[in-house]
């Protein structure tokens, strides 16, 4: 039955996703970016120099400390930490494989207009943010949505966005980033993914418990370092392959407008593929228009929203025009050149060897050697994905607080974080002894990061119930239930993880059992051996 339902729904979901991503998303990204560009008189051009001066004029790894919120650079670093993730390496690789080198050109187009979009997002976040009596800052899309749309409709839109961003970033997004870290480290260093998972859980937990100030302090240090490491490695490769650089740029522009030459098929289909891949991967890379990074920019201490708006633009520029472009140039100049395995496109036997997960490692390996190339990409991907997990969880937490109130958010988060961390390690160890599939063991190591928002949601629901029932000390009662709440949320997440890991095996077993029973029934019926 479940297989039949899945077979019926899967094509519908795929068609809907393809329509939204290939047509609606592309149109909205370009249209909104163009509209903001016109309304701001192309602020991404007029104020680009101002933004660069504000970012690099007073660059430091020890930003000014504030009682709450962040400095302008800390907010930018936190935003870049969210922007520069697996999308810059794995996502760009997938875009090039599927849409050809020309997909990079369309990423540039999306990023150019996205700089105006992120300017608007950052300025709106600062204009509409709210500050508590203790100085705690709350800001993000939910606040400028409710400012723009009054009444129930605005609350509905804000609530829908909050739930969507919690699920997209705090749950599924962190799972993608964590999986990338585990798989690349296992490939490069031979370290089991579950060990990497334990280390990641502990590191994230220590930083989360320190609140916004600790996360900002980590972000402002890790972002410049990770950028410097990747830029240095990429520049070394490009220097070695410098004779292919003109041809590399030539392929980007040529296959942006003649994609069928590398992708095959008709012109219309090839152009749609290249454009949609550039748009989708561009959005996932720079996040301009996605509503994530405004949460970080809202925390900035600046004189005017414009000041942080121009700083936010530089985040998109650094993400797409620097980091992502360098990665693309490395891939194209090593793999798509006449001496590369993809000179004739992603066809033939090469499809069984290269994929988006190992494309960058192979590209860097052509200069560094396969072993060191894999290690270099693994280290870079760790920094990229780890910083993204930190920022995305902050964004998820901000929206959880918006949905369920601001009281005692820090204490509840601390309790749930510790319990969830311990429980995830315990469950994964238990899974090993039970002999569960590897996917379940690895997935449970990262379940703490995605069970925390759910714990907060359940906790806030209980708090509302305690208040409604008239309990004298509802907060104290909630704290007494912290272990139960955390265990319930963790088990819910585990049910999904283990269910996906085991479903095929169980479905096969049940199918075989039913086939056997039905065969026996028919055999008895037709042979007259009725029981």
Look at residue 281 in the predicted model and tell me its pLDDT: 74
| Tens-place pLDDT, residues 279-304 | 777 777 777 788 888 988 998 888 89
What does the CA dihedral 437, 443, 444, 449 come to, rounded to 10 degrees?
180
Would residue 137 be called left, alpha or beta, if left means φ above 0 and alpha means ψ between -120 and 50 degrees?
Answer: beta
Which pLDDT band, with edges at 50, 70 and 90, does 186 fall under? confident
What is the distance between the alpha carbons of residues 326 and 380, in angstroms, rounded to a whole number?
13
Residue appearing with tokens 């839109």: 157
Which pLDDT band, with edges at 50, 70 and 90, does 453 fall under? low
User: For 461, what's the count of Cα atoms within 13 Å in the CB-facing half-sphere?
Assistant: 8
Look at residue 226 in the predicted model and tell me its pLDDT: 84
Helix 267-286, helix 25-39: angle, nearest 10: 60
DSSP secondary structure of 14-76: HHHHHHIIIIIHHHHHHHHHHHHHHHTTSHHHHTHHHHHHHHHTT--SSPPP-SSSB-HHHHH
| Residue 424 reports pLDDT greater than 60 | no
Report the pLDDT averaged over residues 123-137.
85
Reported as type and span, the H/E element at residue 131 is strand 130-131
Q: Residue 40: what are its φ and ψ, rounded to 5°? A: -95, 10
Would you list the domain boundaries of the chain?
Answer: 2-184+210-398, 407-531
Q: Dig out the tokens for 258 from the structure.
A: 């003649």
Neighbouring CB atoms inside 10 A of 249's CB total 16
| Tens-place pLDDT, residues 9-40 | 777 777 887 777 777 877 888 889 999 999 99
Q: Is the pTM of this model over 0.85?
A: no
Q: What is residue 397's three-state secondary structure?
A: helix
What is the distance between the alpha carbons of residues 113 and 35, in angstroms, rounded to a whole number?
9
What is the distance between the alpha carbons of residues 71 and 75, in angstroms, rounded to a whole number?
6
Closest by CA to 460, choosing from 441, 481, 432, 438, is: 481
Helix residue ranges, H only, 135-266: 141-148, 151-165, 174-189, 193-209, 211-240, 245-257, 260-263
Which pLDDT band, with edges at 50, 70 and 90, does 43 fall under? very high
Least confident stretch, 17-21, 50-54, 57-61, 419-423: 419-423
| Residue 311 reports pLDDT greater than 60 | yes
| Residue 530 reports pLDDT greater than 50 | no
Positive or negative, the Cα torsion across 201, 207, 211, 212? negative
Look at residue 331 in the predicted model and tell me its pLDDT: 92
Q: Dig out the tokens for 184 from the structure.
A: 């690349």
| Residue 490 reports pLDDT greater than 70 | no
Share of the chain above pLDDT 90, in %: 16
- Radius of gyration for the chain, computed over Cα atoms and rounded to the nearest angstrom: 25
Report the pLDDT averaged over residues 331-356.
83
Percentages of the chain per state (helix, strand, coil), in multiples of 5:
80, 0, 20
What is the distance between the alpha carbons of residues 369 and 36, in angstroms, rounded to a whole number?
45
Cα–Cα separations (whole angstroms), residue 312 to 202, 212, 298, 316 = 30, 19, 11, 7
Report the pLDDT averaged over residues 211-225.
79
Residue appearing with tokens 């509840």: 412
The answer to whether 295 touches 398, Cβ cutoff 8 Å, is yes
Q: What is residue 269's three-state secondary structure?
A: helix
The answer to whether 436 touches 194, Cβ cutoff 8 Å, is no
| Residue 466 reports pLDDT greater than 70 | yes
Q: Which residues contact 274 (CB under 8 A, 6 or more apart)?
A: 99, 100, 102, 103, 106, 255, 256, 259, 263
Reported as type and span, the H/E element at residue 426 is helix 409-434
Neighbouring CB atoms inside 10 A of 262's CB total 22
Look at residue 4 in the predicted model and tell me its pLDDT: 65
The answer to whether 70 touches 85, Cβ cutoff 8 Å, is no
Least confident stretch, 236-245, 306-315, 411-420: 411-420
Averaged confidence pLDDT in the chain: 78
Q: What is residue 82's three-state secondary structure?
A: helix
What is the distance between the alpha carbons of residues 267 and 274, in angstroms, rounded to a whole number?
11
Residue appearing with tokens 């942006």: 256
What is the distance between the alpha carbons of residues 342 and 348, in angstroms, rounded to a whole number?
10
Would residue 100 be called left, alpha or beta, if left means φ above 0 and alpha means ψ between -120 and 50 degrees?
Answer: left
Report the pLDDT averaged over residues 32-52.
93
Least confident stretch, 3-7, 81-85, 306-310, 514-518: 514-518
Q: Residue 356: what are its φ and ψ, rounded to 5°? A: -65, -25
| Residue 526 reports pLDDT greater than 70 | no
| Tens-place pLDDT, residues 369-383 | 888 888 888 888 888
Please report, for the chain, how many H helices and E strands are present, in that order: 26, 2
What is the distance between the alpha carbons of residues 89 and 141, in angstroms, rounded to a whole number?
28
Reported as type and span, the H/E element at residue 296 is helix 294-297
Look at residue 329 in the predicted model and tell me its pLDDT: 93
């Amino acid at each position: 039955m479940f297989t039949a339902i899945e077979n019926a729904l899967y094509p519908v979901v795929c068609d809907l996703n393809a329509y939204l991503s290939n047509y609606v998303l592309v149109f909205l990204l370009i249209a909104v970016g163009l509209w903001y560009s016109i309304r701001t008189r192309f602020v991404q051009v007029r104020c680009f120099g101002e933004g660069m001066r504000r970012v690099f004029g007073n660059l430091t790894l020890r930003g000014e400390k504030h009682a709450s919120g962040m400095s302008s650079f800390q907010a930018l670093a936190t935003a870049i930490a969210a922007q520069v993730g697996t999308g810059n390496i794995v996502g760009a690789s997938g875009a090039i494989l599927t849409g050809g080198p020309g997909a990079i050109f369309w990423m540039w187009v999306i990023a150019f207009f996205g700089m105006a979009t992120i300017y608007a997002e950052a300025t709106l976040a600062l204009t509409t943010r709210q500050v508590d009596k203790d100085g705690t800052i709350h800001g993000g899309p939910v606040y400028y949505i409710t400012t723009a749309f009054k009444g129930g409709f605005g609350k509905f839109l804000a609530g829908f966005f909050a739930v969507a961003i919690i699920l997209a970033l705090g749950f599924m997004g962190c799972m993608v980033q964590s999986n990338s870290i585990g798989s690349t480290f296992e490939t490069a260093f031979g370290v089991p993914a579950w060990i990497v998972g334990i280390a990641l859980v502990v590191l994230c937990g220590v930083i989360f418990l320190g609140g916004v100030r600790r996360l900002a302090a980590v972000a402002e240090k890790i972002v410049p370092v990770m950028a410097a490491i990747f830029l240095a490695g990429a520049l070394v490769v490009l220097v070695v392959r410098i004779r292919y650089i003109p041809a590399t740029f030539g392929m980007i522009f040529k296959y942006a407008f003649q994609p069928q030459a590398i992708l095959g098929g008709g012109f219309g289909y090839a152009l749609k593929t290249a454009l949609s891949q550039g748009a989708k991967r561009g959005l996932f890379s720079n996040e301009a228009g996605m509503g994530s990074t405004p949460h970080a920019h809202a925390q900035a201490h600046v004189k005017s929203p414009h000041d942080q708006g121009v700083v936010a633009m530089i985040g998109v520029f650094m993400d797409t025009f620097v980091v992502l472009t360098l990665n693309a140039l490395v891939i194209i100049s090593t793999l798509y050149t006449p001496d590369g395995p993809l000179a004739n496109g992603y066809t033939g036997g090469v499809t069984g060897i290269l994929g988006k997960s190992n494309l960058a490692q192979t590209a860097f390996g052509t200069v560094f050697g396969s072993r060191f190339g894999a290690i270099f990409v693994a280290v870079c991907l760790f920094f990229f994905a780890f910083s993204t997990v930190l920022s995305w969880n902050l964004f998820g937490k901000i929206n959880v607080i918006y949905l369920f109130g601001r009281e005692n958010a820090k204490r509840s988060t601390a309790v749930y974080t510790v319990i969830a961390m311990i429980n995830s390690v315990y469950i994964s160890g238990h899974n090993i002894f039970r002999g569960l599939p590897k996917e379940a063991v690895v997935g449970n190591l990262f379940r703490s990061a995605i069970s925390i928002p759910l714990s907060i949601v359940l906790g806030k629901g209980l708090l509302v119930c305690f208040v409604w029932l008239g309990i004298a000390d509802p907060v104290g009662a909630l704290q007494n239930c912290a272990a139960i709440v955390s265990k319930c949320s963790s088990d819910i997440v585990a049910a999904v993880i283990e269910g996906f890991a085991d479903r095929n095996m169980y479905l096969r077993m049940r199918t075989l059992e039913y086939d056997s029973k039905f065969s026996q029934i028919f055999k008895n019926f037709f042979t007259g051996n009725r029981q």
